């Protein structure tokens, strides 16, 4: 409490009023939550070197404002102004990603096409040997598929049992189910300052609070993460550290280990989104957070959608077996079980996973070159980090340009793009544009050409940068 109060007595007015004001601020911003018990009056007075009467009057002022309740013999407890937690949001941060202009070249979504090898599997699949499997309505997924996914994690360095796997309809469902089980209204979830909007929306629609952790060009800033764990006492951390969406950054191994250590030390579950972790052009293995010692608090959301085919809608959650069992009923309520045909196709793809990863990277490499060449030739005053993998380029506009305004201008030139605003929990004008390189080559080339034309005719407006 002393640490949270900070320099509370440096203002003007009576000490009790300054103390009440600082405590009230901690309650209003969610640092102190409904049900938290404040320190006993005498103990806090001794720790602050003030009279007990100062603390009593501060608590009484908070009680009069409805911020705390005081019960003789039970102490002073945070009441707050909204016992139901934060209101459930009716807004979606990523809504615009799913509403393209049909007259435009769509560079909004980082969704790759079906690989030819997947098309061959679909056309050659034989259902007869799997008649019994097709009728298996187990919410956790087919046992054989769970075994193969567990083997995949084990091969990559994360020893896994099939009991630790829940098969889902894509990684987004794994994220949503995790939040449904682990997050309650009023809770705080930590995530990246720029991140997949499906995470932000899931948290807010659960009535919880999403608190961003600052990023630099390598990813999470560990010092800011540690400070926010201390301040907000989150119920969950959710990160996308490798080929991060949207920034494309790779979190260095020492920072990955630091995240694991913080999860273990503070006993906070950490969910890692690894849907693009294997899509590195150098084919390096980038260790999962849970490959370090998280104390059992690590979880992984995985998917075949970005590697093989988004239309497959097949993903999974890897977590402690007890957590997986808790999620079984939530999965059943959500959709009963993952479609049998998706699981059947998934069996074939997981068995040949590395082959499909290589095929996807071979498909993506020329598309990356196309986007980078267009940026260098037609948009030389834009900056962007080196592209080491993933599905998009995170470009930064010059400081005197509004990304939000440029998105609208680009639409009038026939190309739909997403600004940093679609990936940011704070509704501010960020200077970034996400450029997926997943569209068909001819569409991608035309979209970048139109983007260059739009920039040449754009009337810049000043904007304050919000990251990096």
Range of lowest pLDDT (224-233, 366-375, 451-460): 451-460
In order of their start, the domains of the chain are 2-78 (1.10.10.10), 95-112+355-456 (3.90.1150.10), 130-352 (3.40.640.10)
Higher-scoring residue by pLDDT: 128, 412: 412
How much is the average pLDDT of 162-189?
96
Q: What is the pLDDT of residues 208-263, one digit of tens each?
A: 999 999 999 999 999 999 999 999 999 999 999 999 999 999 999 999 999 999 99
Residue 437 has pLDDT above 70, yes or no: yes
Residue 254 φ/ψ region, left for φ over 0, alpha for ψ in the -120 to 50 degree band, beta for the rest: alpha
On whether the CB atoms of residues 269 and 301 are closer than 8 A, the answer is no
Specify the pLDDT at position 463.
43
How confident is the model over 351-379, as a mean pLDDT? 97
Contacts of 21 (CB under 8 A, 6+ apart): 8, 11
Confidence of residue 426 (pLDDT cuts 50, 70, 90): confident
Condensed to tens digits (0 to 9), the pLDDT of residues 26-54 reads 888 777 888 888 999 988 988 888 899 99
Whether the bond between 246 and the residue before it is cis, its omega within 30 degrees of 0, is yes
298 phi, psi to nearest 5 deg:
-90, 145
- Which one is predicted more confidently, 379 or 49? 379
Element (H, E) at 184: none
Question: Over pLDDT 90: what percentage of the chain?
Answer: 71
pLDDT of residue 89: 56
The pLDDT, as a whole number, for residue 88 is 55
Average pLDDT, the chain: 90
Position 49 scores a pLDDT of 80
Strand order through the sheet with 270-273: 165-168, 315-318, 298-303, 270-273, 236-239, 188-192, 209-213
pLDDT(465) > 60: no
pLDDT at 103: 65
- Least confident range from 112-126, 138-152, 276-290, 429-443: namely 112-126
Give pLDDT, residue 30: 75
Spatial separation of the C-alpha atoms in residues 298 and 111, rounded to whole Å = 27
The reported pLDDT for the residue numbered 155 is 96
Task: Give the pLDDT band of residue 84 (cuts 50, 70, 90).
Answer: very low
Percentage of the residues of the chain whose pLDDT score is greater than 70: 93
For 13-17, 344-348, 427-431, which range has the lowest pLDDT when averaged over its residues?
427-431
Query: Taking 60 as the threshold, does the pLDDT of residue 160 lie above it?
Result: yes
CB atoms within 10 A of CB 119: 12
Tens digit of pLDDT for each residue in 87-137?
555 667 776 676 656 667 999 989 999 999 999 998 888 887 777 777 778
Rg (C-alpha) for the chain, rounded Å, is 25
Q: What is the average per-residue pLDDT within 393-422?
A: 91
70: helix, strand or coil: strand
């Amino acid at each position: 409490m002393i640490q949270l109060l900070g320099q509370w007595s440096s203002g003007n007015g009576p000490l009790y009023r300054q103390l009440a004001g600082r405590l009230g601020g901690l309650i209003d911003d969610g640092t102190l939550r409904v049900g938290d018990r404040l320190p006993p009056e005498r103990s806090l007075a001794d720790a602050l070197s003030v009279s007990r009467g100062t603390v009593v009057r501060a608590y009484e002022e908070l009680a009069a404002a409805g911020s705390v309740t005081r019960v003789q013999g039970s102490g002073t407890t945070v009441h707050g102004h909204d016992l139901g937690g934060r209101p459930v949001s009716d807004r979606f941060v990523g809504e615009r990603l799913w509403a393209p202009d049909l007259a435009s070249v769509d560079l909004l979504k980082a969704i790759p096409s079906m690989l030819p090898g997947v098309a061959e599997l679909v056309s050659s699949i034989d259902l007869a040997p799997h008649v019994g499997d097709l009728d298996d309505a187990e919410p956790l997924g087919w046992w054989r598929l769970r075994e193969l996914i567990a083997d995949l994690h084990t091969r990559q360095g994360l020893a896994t049992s099939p009991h630790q796997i829940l098969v889902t309809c894509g990684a987004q469902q794994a994220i949503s189910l995790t939040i449904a089980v682990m997050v309650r209204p009023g809770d705080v979830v930590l995530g990246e300052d720029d991140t997949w909007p499906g995470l932000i929306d899931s948290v807010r629609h659960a009535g919880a609070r999403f608190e961003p952790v600052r990023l630099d060009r390598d990813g999470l800033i560990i010092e800011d993460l540690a400070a926010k764990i201390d301040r907000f006492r989150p119920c969950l951390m959710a990160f996308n550290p490798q080929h991060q969406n949207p920034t494309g950054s790779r979190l260095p191994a020492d920072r990955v280990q630091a995240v694991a250590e913080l999860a273990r030390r503070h006993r906070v579950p950490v969910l890692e989104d690894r849907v693009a972790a294997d899509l590195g052009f150098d084919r390096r293995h980038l260790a999962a957070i849970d490959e370090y010692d998280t104390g059992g608090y690590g979880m992984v959301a995985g998917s075949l959608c970005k590697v093989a085919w988004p239309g497959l809608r097949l993903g999974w959650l890897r977590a402690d077996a007890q957590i997986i069992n808790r999620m079984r009923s939530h999965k059943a309520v959500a959709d009963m079980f993952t479609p049998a045909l998706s699981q059947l196709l998934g069996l074939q793809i997981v068995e040949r996973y590395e082959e499909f990863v290589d095929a996807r990277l071979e498909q993506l490499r020329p598309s990356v070159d196309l986007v980078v060449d267009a940026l260098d030739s037609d948009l030389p005053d834009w900056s962007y980090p080196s592209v080491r993998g993933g599905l998009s380029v995170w470009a930064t506009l010059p400081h005197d340009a509004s990304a939000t305004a440029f998105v609208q201008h680009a639409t009038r030139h026939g190309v739909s793009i997403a600004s940093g605003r679609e990936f940011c929990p704070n509704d501010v004008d960020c200077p970034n544009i996400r450029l997926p390189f997943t569209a068909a080559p001819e569409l991608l080339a035309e979209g970048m050409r139109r983007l260059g034309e739009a920039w040449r005719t754009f009337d810049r407006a000043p904007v304050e940068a919000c990251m990096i």
